[in-house]
Chain A
Amino acid sequence: MAKTTFRIGGVHPDDAKVSRGCAIEVLPLPQTVYISMAQHLGAPAKPVVAVGDSVKAGQLIAEAGGFISANVHSSVSGKVKSIAPRKDIAGNNVLHVEITVEGDEWAEGIDLSDTLVTEIPGDRAAILDRIKACGVVGLGGATFPTHVKLNPAPGSVAECLIINGAECEPYLTSDFRIMLERPKEIVVGAAIMKKVLGDCRCVIGIEENKPEAIESMSKAVAELGYPGIEVLSLKKKYPQGGEKQLIDAVMRRQVKSGGLPISVGAVVQNVATSLAVYEAVQKNKPLVTNVMTITGDCLPVEKQHNYQFRIGMPLSYIAEYAGGVPEGAAKIISGGPMMGRAVANMDACTVKGSSSLLYLSEGATKRSEPGNCIRCGRCADACPMGLEPFFLFKLAKVGDMDQLEANAVQDCISCGCCQFSCPAFLPLLDQINIAKGQVLGILKARAAAAKAAAEAAKK
């Protein structure tokens, strides 16, 4: 099979997939869960339960708060104890529904059996409704509501559905494990989304460092026999799982700056999302569980795990259950080491998109003292968007917004390749992220002003 990858930039961090051999285990229920109302991209969900209500697992507890938003369901059965702001992993206050766990009773109509349902419903709108009702969001990192992505604006045509099994972040193995343990469900999920998008081509992209996953997925595709689905082996390179990079790798097409994937005929969904779509459509099960990896360079392999968790479980509860935070940990990260977020608050709870608890030692993660830029150009070679981080860094320091925009700081995907490869240890991405935020603000204000002017002219 021809191996391919994206054409611009990229780096090769040590993949450190120590936990690849850890089969998925189901976490026991805690006494209390705290379910966030903002666990997707877009507007927070609006609670539809009141304090004191009894809820069942899988029952709707909050409705989508806008067009780009998603429903939220209870992950446990029990009593709503409070609906109040609570700190998330970064320490920001977010509205959470606190539920005291009582037993484990699921809402009516949810099929919890293991029976594989391969028959795909015929009605496209009904499928979309089900995905929307079940609160499915993209589980590859951005948590963009899936039903919105699967329903492109009129006029745009999906030519290729790309299922993202790249899992290019070092350490993480949750996608790898579901590809080994639940390949058929993922393929059925892919077939469902393919159908929704009008029976386009479907490619499941997996990096070559996961040969078992490639084999398992290929076998599932062959056995299920849906037409037009193929597995593609990709050369290992970070950030292969970046949406634009994966489209470039699979379709050799580059999404224009500021454009959406659908503009080049692509829709990208993660393997975990595909599994969630399967469960939503075939089993009527809302997105209340996901798989996360407990890993790190200071955690011995026998203490590493892949856990199926329910949303709303406190991170501290999961860490305790797994044997506590290891002695040598200097930083705790939710997500991968390249793009994950440092956990500032272990009382924060899992969300739909949680993918890991990553413990890094001081040696692995401590930043070195920055030196002078030696103009080696490694950051520019590494940037998968073809930007010049050394230049953006300088511009950001002096705050030259016009030049920052002209040099495409707004195209930055914050993948961290520049800072990862800088031999002078410059905080390139820190500066660029700040500048990107400012430039995006300017672009938004300009677009709003132009819209207002156009409307005024109409009148």
Chain B
Amino acid sequence: MDKYLVSPNPHVHAAVSSDSLMRDVIIALLPAIVVSVVFYGWSELLVLAVGALSCVLLEYVIARWLMKDLHLFSGSSALVTGLLLSMNLPSTTPWWVVFIGAIVAIGVAKMSFGGLGQNVFNPAITGRVFLLVSFPTYLTHWEIPGGLWGADAVTGATPLGAIKEGLMQGGTVQDIMAANGYSYGQMLFANLGGSAGEISAIALLLGFVYLLVRRVIKPHITLSIWATVFVFAGIMWLINPARFTDPVFNLLTGGMILGSCFMATDYVTSPMSDKGGIIFGVGIGLIAMLIRYFGSYPEGVSFAILIMNAAVPLINRFCHQKKFGRA
């Protein structure tokens, strides 16, 4: 009898692990990664490679030599952070800026809190926001897609940036849109300036659907962000279409899709309950739109997610599952 295992129930386990979940997230990011490399070319590949490799390497170094516990190293999770960080940066970002972003994402935002599962703020967004306020020139100038084999890359502003700029100079939303020739088709299929992860809504949505089908994430957070943005932007746009951009534009531009599908849904930094997820999503949608409409930055999704990250412990405290047989 001594050769058989004896332990309490359950005696079997679902075919799911932290690594398999992270693998699914990476698979979900692939369409957007492919599209961004095709449109931005080799420089984008370099940004992605530097981001991914440095995040994994830094996590390993910190876990092994600073925290002295290799159990705290989670390669798949660090890889996701690295990819998301890179996808939030313009393809023209110098490699050393990406590396500094990785240090902040993994070193400061993740490992200093205790590693996987312990951090309060989304590491990739923390890294990006740190770079945004520290190296604004590198992070706010974008290359209009020239493509992998295309020659004529032109630098310019993102649609959100162009509109903020135009409004400050006294233009109306309609004039600026017309002057730049923006269309929803472009926003869906990658033709506008922006970070790698911002350029193709369709590719990102494909990944989002994959995550839903594989039941890696639930739709509550993402859908409540979209609904809030749509309703809030819709009301403002109806009030003054010359001053405020329309709701569809707001859903398709900037980091809205990437942020709502892949960053706000990060397990560690989002609420545990469905109800909490909806509150979290509404908060992100509102804050992002307030920044876009009234703030000095053209884009507010990153800040909105970070601010709501801070509220997660509070949300968790008040939002619980409905218990069986209890009021």
Contact = CB atoms under 8 A, between A and B. Distances in A.
A384 B16 CA distance: 19
B172 interface: no
A368 B13 contact: yes
Contact of B9 (A255, A339, A346, A384): A339
B1 A345 contact: yes
A384 B322 CA distance: 10
Contact of A368 (B5, B17, B117, B268): B17
Contact of A377 (B13, B16, B273): B273
Given A371-B74, A374-B18, A423-B18, A364 B12 contact: yes
Most central of A248, A259, A364, A388 by chain B CB within 10 Å: A388
B13 A341 contact: no
Given A343-B4, A408-B323, A380 B273 contact: yes
Interface residues of A, number: 63
Contacts of A429: 8-10
A330 interface: yes
A337 B323 contact: no
Contact of A372 (B16, B20, B118): B118
Nearest to B326: A257
B21 A13 contact: no
B71 interface: yes
B23 to A, nearest CB: 11
B72 interface: yes
A57 interface: no
Contact of A342 (B7, B118, B321): B7
B321 A423 contact: no
Contacts of B9: 337-341, 414, 416, 429
Interface string B144-172: 00000000000000000000000000000
A160 interface: no
Nearest to A417: B10
Nearest to A345: B1
Given A371-B18, A374-B117, A423-B17, A342 B11 contact: yes
A375 B268 CA distance: 5
A377 to B, nearest CB: 4
A317 interface: no
Interface string A259-296: 10000000000000000000000000000000000000
Contacts of A386: 321-324, 326
Contacts of B115: 372
B272 A377 contact: yes
B267 interface: yes
Contacts of B118: 372
A423 B17 CA distance: 4
Contacts of A425: 13, 17
B178 interface: no
Interface string B33-73: 00000000000000000000000000000000000000110
A430 B117 contact: no
B177 interface: no
A366 B272 contact: no
B12 A365 contact: yes
Identify which of B4, B17, B18, B77 gathers the most chain A CB atoms within 10 Å of its CB. Answer: B4
What 6 A-B pairs have minimum CB-CB distances, sorted nearest first? A416-B10, A386-B323, A372-B117, A376-B267, A331-B5, A254-B325
Interface of B: 1, 4-14, 16-18, 20-21, 71-72, 74, 77, 115-118, 267-268, 272-273, 320-326
5 contacts: A257-B325, A385-B325, A411-B326, A416-B10, A423-B16
